[in-house]
Amino acid sequence: MDIIDGKCVRLSKGDYNTQKIYNELPLEVAKAFEAHGVEHLHLVDLDGARSQHIVNYKVLEQIASKTSLKIDFGGGIKSNEDLRIAFESGAQQITGGSIAVKDPSLFGQWLKTYGSTKIILGADAKYGKVAVNGWTEESTQEVIPFIQDYESKGVKYVICTDISKDGMLEGPSFGLYRTILENTDVKLIASGGVSTFEELPKLASLGCEGAIIGKAIYENRISLKQLEDYIIATS
């Protein structure tokens, strides 16, 4: 669930100019997910991602207090204060992307303090390089070595989005995920491009720990009933 101005939105390829509002009440969307057996919510503060601090923590607080969803929160977490706000607002995990590139010592400190089950590495790929600041800036770091380096420092969970696929409903980046899984032992969560239900078991067969689905649900490409049946069948 991506949030701008407190509303559920989706972008295409991370371009803020392509913003489309799907629902002005994120809590209602979260409750619908929960009602169909979804247990985990990936919540992204897109306003925070392109600013210097967390912004939409009230949305996090509302969903966390009124559902039992396990929320991992990302976007704008760039300081100890942001991290504190995220956890106090109800996040069970946080995803750090920009901070892991720009301030690796601070991210490493979080990893040591909170542990690898609480801190997720966000490794979002743009032409093979890690992108930061809401994907508005491309770093010089290659995705695979970036993940390998943090794996050696204790990272276990990685969310990887191929930005060229994100919001396009053209299918995930199977090749990228296969390469990551062949070269690391991380628990990989695939993100970006999921467009049909059939892609989910394919990602699972690759070895992905999970998959993030957003636009495909909003555009009725994948129904919540399909997800509910899949969750029951694979649990």
Catalytic residues: 2, 124
Q: How far apart are the first and last CA of the chain?
A: 23
Q: Write the single-letter amino acid at 129.
A: K
CA pair distance 77, 99, nearest whole angstrom: 7
Which of 205, 176, 204 minimizes the C-alpha distance to 192? 176
Read off the tokens for 27. Answer: 């809590």
CA 211 to chain centre: 9
CA pair distance 203, 172, nearest whole angstrom: 9
Other Cβ atoms within 10 Å of 68 Cβ, number: 7
Q: Which pairs count as long-range contacts for 139-142, CB under 8 Å and 24+ apart, including other chains?
A: 139/101, 141/101
CA pair distance 217, 156, nearest whole angstrom: 28
Q: Write the single-letter amino acid at 80.
A: N
